[in-house]
């Protein structure tokens, strides 16, 4: 039940002379909701794109393990769903049709739709019912037949999440999904993520596999701690000199710790985790603070949460 579903091993990536990621190692277990934070431009989206498979890393490997089978990630696949900051819904389809679209592509082909009209009609009805159920979960039950131009940004983003979730991805990847939303809408969406986490907990209690494994990139540290059960910090601010490098070889993981778990109805009390926020600001975002390389290597080997120590100043 605590098996690794996504493994990032020694991943490095660069664009010409711009070295972006250096030896990134990350094990994500089934049912975890991991928030990935880091300074702007450190390579969070690059890492996510490598996991999605649209831009595989130049060095290292990424493996997905679903139902016992391990597969090297070399291209996008339905085991990984992605939602970006800017939703890309089809404007001429309703919310429900947008959500059912992926199922249609996955389960039917044009010949089936053209020549097996009766079977297709039945399957279509089933897809639309599943889509309605998913939108209900996203609290959009009253907007099933609305078109994207008739919905707010927050509503569209919920449709985009439903679109990804309906495909039952082994890992759901979110790249700054709430970045364009106002604070109140952002909070609503954060609570939807907490609902997914609560579903995981119910599944665990009932002896089932937790259904949702999520990686969310966000630059909002309060959000990261509030929605996740683990915060991972990617940063170019680590002691690469100690590793024998003459210039920064790229960002790597400098922080990896559990985060407190909240339920969807809990008050959003940011003060309750202020210490962890300060710690992340210091360890991940402060250019003056450089994580010891030796400590980083230990972190990469064990992949476990640990205390920050051996602080060094440059
Ligand atoms: N396709 C590309 N071609 C060249 N350079 C790129 C490309 N994509 C990203 N980069 C560079 O790689 C670095 C990391 O970019 P990336 O978008 O992954 O950062 P990020 O951490 O997601 O930033 P932000 O928080 O601003 O979204 C940046 O220096 C960026 O300019
Ligand atoms: Mg980005």
Element (H, E) at 256: strand 252-258
CB atoms inside a 10 Å sphere around CB 25: 20
Q: Counting beta carbons within 10 angstroms of the beta carbon of residue 55, is it exposed (0 to 12), middle (13 to 18) or buried (19 or more)? A: middle
From 38, 42, 46, 215, the mutation candidate for ligand 1 (largest count of ligand atoms within 8 A of CB) is: 46
Handedness of CA 109, 96, 93, 211 (dihedral sign): negative
**Separation of 43 CA from ligand 2 center, angstroms?**
7
Q: Where are the alpha helices (DSSP H) in the chain?
A: 44-52, 95-107, 110-115, 117-137, 153-165, 183-205, 221-227, 274-280, 293-302
User: In the prediction, which pLDDT does 180 show?
Assistant: 83
From 12, 14, 18, 253, the mutation candidate for ligand 1 (largest count of ligand atoms within 8 A of CB) is: 18
Among the atoms of ligand 1, which is closest to the Cα of residue 47? Answer: 18
Q: Compute the distance between CA of residue 181 and CA of residue 212 in angstroms, rounded to an integer.
A: 23
User: In the prediction, which pLDDT does 296 show?
Assistant: 54
Nearest residue (by CA) to ligand 1, atom 30, is: 41
User: Domain map of the chain by residue range?
Assistant: 4-79+171-313, 88-168
User: In the prediction, which pLDDT does 112 show?
Assistant: 67
Nearest residue (by CA) to ligand 1, atom 24, is: 40
- Which ligand minimizes its atom distance to the CA of 284? 1
User: In the prediction, which pLDDT does 295 show?
Assistant: 61
Nearest residue (by CA) to ligand 1, atom 18, is: 43
Say if CB 97 and CB 104 are below 8 A apart: no
Under CATH, which number does the domain 4-79+171-313 receive? 3.40.50.300
Give, in order, the Cα–Cα distances in Å from 50 to each of 6, 8, 172, 235. Answer: 12, 9, 14, 17
Q: Compute the distance between CA of residue 41 and CA of residue 229 in angstroms, rounded to an integer.
A: 24
Q: List the structure tokens of 107.
A: 């389960």
Q: Compute the distance between CA of residue 170 and CA of residue 213 in angstroms, rounded to an integer.
A: 7
* Predicted confidence pLDDT, tens digits, the chain (314 residues): 458 999 999 999 999 999 999 999 999 999 999 999 999 999 999 999 999 999 999 999 999 997 778 899 999 998 999 998 877 899 999 999 999 998 887 777 777 677 677 877 888 899 999 999 999 999 999 999 999 999 999 999 999 999 999 999 999 999 999 888 889 889 999 999 999 999 999 999 999 999 999 999 998 999 999 999 999 999 999 988 888 899 999 999 999 999 999 999 999 889 999 999 999 998 999 988 876 655 654 555 444 444 333 333 33
**Separation of 116 CA from ligand 1 center, angstroms?**
46
From 11, 41, 173, 237, the mutation candidate for ligand 1 (largest count of ligand atoms within 8 A of CB) is: 41
Torsion of CA 51, 55, 58, 60, to 10 degrees: 10
DSSP code of 209? P
Among the atoms of ligand 1, which is closest to the Cα of residue 42? Answer: 21
Nearest residue (by CA) to ligand 1, atom 9, is: 46
Q: Where are the alpha helices (DSSP H) in 237-313?
A: 274-280, 293-302
Nearest residue (by CA) to ligand 1, atom 31, is: 41
**Separation of 220 CA from ligand 2 center, angstroms?**
12
Ligand 1 in contact with 115 (CB < 6 A)?
no
User: In the prediction, which pLDDT does 109 show?
Assistant: 74
User: In the prediction, which pLDDT does 299 show?
Assistant: 55
Residues near ligand 2 ion, CB 5 Å cutoff:
45
- Residues in contact with 140: Cβ distance below 8 Å, sequence separation at least 6, in sequence order: 95, 155, 158, 159, 162
Among the atoms of ligand 1, which is closest to the Cα of residue 219? Answer: 25
């Amino acid at each position: 039940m605590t098996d690794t579903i996504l493994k990032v091993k020694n991943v490095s990536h660069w664009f010409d002379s711009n070295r972006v990621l250096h030896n990134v190692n990350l094990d994500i277990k089934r049912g975890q909701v991991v928030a990935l934070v880091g300074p702007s431009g450190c390579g969070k989206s690059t890492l996510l794109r490598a996991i999605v498979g649209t831009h595989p890393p130049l060095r290292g490997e990424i493996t997905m393990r679903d139902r016992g089978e391990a597969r090297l990630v070399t291209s996008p696949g339905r085991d990984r769903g992605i939602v970006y900051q800017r939703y890309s819904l089809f404007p001429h389809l309703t919310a429900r049709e947008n959500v059912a679209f992926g199922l249609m592509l996955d389960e039917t082909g044009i010949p089936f739709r053209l020549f097996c009209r009766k079977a297709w009609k039945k399957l279509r009805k089933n897809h639309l019912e599943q889509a309605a159920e998913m939108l209900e979960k996203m609290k959009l039950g009253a907007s099933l037949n609305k078109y994207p131009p008739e919905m707010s940004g927050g509503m569209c983003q919920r449709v985009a999440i439903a679109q990804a979730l309906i495909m039952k991805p082994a890992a759901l990847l979110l790249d700054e999904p709430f970045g364009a939303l106002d604070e109140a809408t952002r909070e609503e969406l954060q609570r939807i993520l907490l609902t997914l986490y609560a579903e995981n907990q119910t599944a665990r209690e009932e002896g089932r596999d937790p259904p949702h494994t999520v990686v969310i990139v966000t630059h909002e540290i309060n959000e990261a701690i509030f929605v996740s059960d683990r915060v991972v910090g990617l940063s170019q601010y680590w002691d690469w000199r100690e590793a024998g490098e003459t210039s920064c070889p790229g960002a790597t993981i400098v922080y990896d710790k559990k985060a407190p778990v909240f339920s969807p109805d809990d008050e959003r009390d940011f003060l309750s985790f202020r210490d962890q926020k300060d710690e992340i600001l210091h360890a991940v975002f402060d250019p003056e603070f450089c994580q010891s390389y030796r400590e980083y290597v230990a972190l990469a080997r064990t992949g476990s949460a640990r205390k920050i120590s051996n602080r060094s100043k440059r």
